Amino acid sequence: MDALTSSPLGWLCVGLTMLFGVTVLCTAKKSLVEKANVLVWSLLPALLGLLCMAVLGAGGGLVVFGVVCLVSSVYLGGRALLPVGDKAVLITGSDTGIGHALAKYLDSLGFVVFAGVLNKDGSGAEELRRTCSQRLSLLQMDITNATQVKEAYRKVSEKVQNTGLWGVVNNAGILGFPADGELLPMSMYRQCMEVNFFGAVEVSNTFLPLLRKSQGRLVNMSSMAGGIPLPRYAAYGASKAALSMFSGVMRQELSKWGIKVAAIHPSGFRTGIQGTSDLWEKQEKELMENLPADTRQDYGEDYLLGLKNYLLRMPEYCEADLSPLLSAVLHALLAKRPHGLYTPGKGAYLPLCIFCYFPVWFYDFFISKMLSTESAPRALRTSEAERKNL
């Protein structure tokens, strides 16, 4: 240590260490960065820098310390959040699930929340009225109805006036009936695209003038199925993939206006997106009525009836705690340098990495093992039995 402080370069190293620590702590004080992360990422570089300078000498230690400071500064810059202030955010699909939880969460943090709901007189809207602050405003907003979207824009414009709207969270979406793509009626494909993609595009383009005023954020709620192919999600996955691509293009195009765009690809969360038993029966009936006779014969009644059991079991494999997802949306809204893509939830990032960086056959094998089904279509079972008997 005496050698460290016996030269001007050594004192420079010590001074830079102190300056870095003070800067990090001041940044953390002004933002919503977690205190534990701040302590770790401010103390570790300082200690590592001093250790390197003691071992390598002032010159080598300064180089190592500079690299460590750069890495930690980039990390903390990504963690640092802007103050909430009076920022206003529009959330679609706030009746239930993620949108409902997000409206409550952002309201509790002090945001001015515009909660778009499919039914302004429904139980979800009533709960938001009862539990949230007076800052929250409910908007009747079926995103497939252009008239309602324009009326919502008019109401939001009147309230935010010249300050603009800080964020739009395109959350509203439908799952449809999970089944083999061959079995789904065309109406299911069209409905998923209408809600999950065209509705989000309609909302985005309508509210972009307000985002330009504030140089705010556009956040699109996609899905794991929007980034990787998953069996039984042909209609849903295709619509979410379209939304993800839309997000990527808009991220590039809107950067010149100072607007930042993010796509959220969560893993399975327990949100109730699969709908009610009445909806399942309606969708199942529509599926069965539209099946050609030979397709029904090949798949078999037991396989087709098993699709509903798959839907009923879905919540068992989903996380009940939405906090990782809510934190991801908050970061997308407030981070000084938000990510273009977020993958909250257990296992959300691994399949995406395998799909992007491994051969397709390996990804298909991985998914087949991860999502193995209990039964096979009747025709495949019959042919397998015949081969065994030969």
Same domain, 342 and 259: yes
Same domain, 57 and 176: no
Please identify, among 79, 110, 134, the residue that sits at the C-terminal boundary of a domain: 79
pLDDT given at position 390:
54
Q: Is there a domain that residue 311 lies in?
A: yes
Residue that has been written with the tokens 């539990």 in this structure:
131
Whole-angstrom Cα distance, residue 25 to residue 280?
Answer: 53
Same domain, 149 and 206: yes
Same domain, 218 and 146: yes
Residue 312's pLDDT band (boundaries 50, 70, 90)? low
pLDDT, one tens digit per residue, over 26-59 is 554 444 444 445 555 556 666 666 666 666 565 6
pLDDT given at position 318:
65
Per-residue pLDDT averaged across 11-17, rounded? Answer: 61
Same domain, 232 and 350: yes
Q: Is there a domain that residue 242 lies in?
A: yes
Please identify, among 55, 79, 103, the residue that sits at the C-terminal boundary of a domain: 79
Measure CA 155 to chain center.
Answer: 27
pLDDT given at position 57:
61
Q: Is there a domain that residue 3 lies in?
A: no
Range 42-74 burial, b when 16+ CB lie within 10 A, else e: beebbebbbebbeeebbeebbebbeebbeebbe
- Return phi, psi of residue 237, to 5°: -65, -40
Model pTM score: 0.78
Higher pLDDT, 275 or 91: 91
Whole-angstrom Cα distance, residue 262 to residue 333?
Answer: 9
pLDDT, one tens digit per residue, over 186-243 is 999 999 999 999 999 999 999 999 999 999 999 999 998 899 999 889 999 999 999 9
Same domain, 44 and 117: no
Whether 249 has a pLDDT exceeding 60, the answer reads yes
Q: Are 141 and 91 in contact (CB under 8 A)?
A: no
pLDDT given at position 62:
58
Same domain, 92 and 72: no
Pair of tokens at residue 330? 């908050």
Annotated catalytic sites, by residue? Answer: 236
For 322, residues 6+ apart whose C-beta sits below 8 A from its C-beta are 98, 101, 269, 271
Q: Is there a domain that residue 241 lies in?
A: yes
Output the domain CATH number for residue 199.
3.40.50.720
Q: Is there a domain that residue 165 lies in?
A: yes
Q: Is there a domain that residue 320 lies in?
A: yes
Same domain, 173 and 319: yes
Q: Is there a domain that residue 136 lies in?
A: yes
Q: Is there a domain that residue 379 lies in?
A: no
Same domain, 273 and 168: yes
pLDDT given at position 315:
61
Instruction: Provide the 10 A C-beta neighbour count for residue 120.
Output: 16
Please identify, among 53, 79, 105, the residue that sits at the C-terminal boundary of a domain: 79
In the chain, the DSSP E strands lie at 88-91, 112-117, 137-140, 167-170, 217-221, 260-264, 341-342
Q: 179 forms bridges with which residues in the sheet?
A: 233
Per-residue pLDDT averaged across 148-167, rounded? Answer: 95
Whether 306 has a pLDDT exceeding 80, the answer reads no
Whole-angstrom Cα distance, residue 135 to residue 160?
Answer: 12
Structural domain harbouring 285: 88-370
pLDDT given at position 141:
96
Give how many domains the chain has, as a whole number. 2
Same domain, 219 and 300: yes
Same domain, 12 and 153: no
Same domain, 38 and 181: no
pLDDT given at position 380:
77
- Return phi, psi of residue 117, to 5°: -130, 150
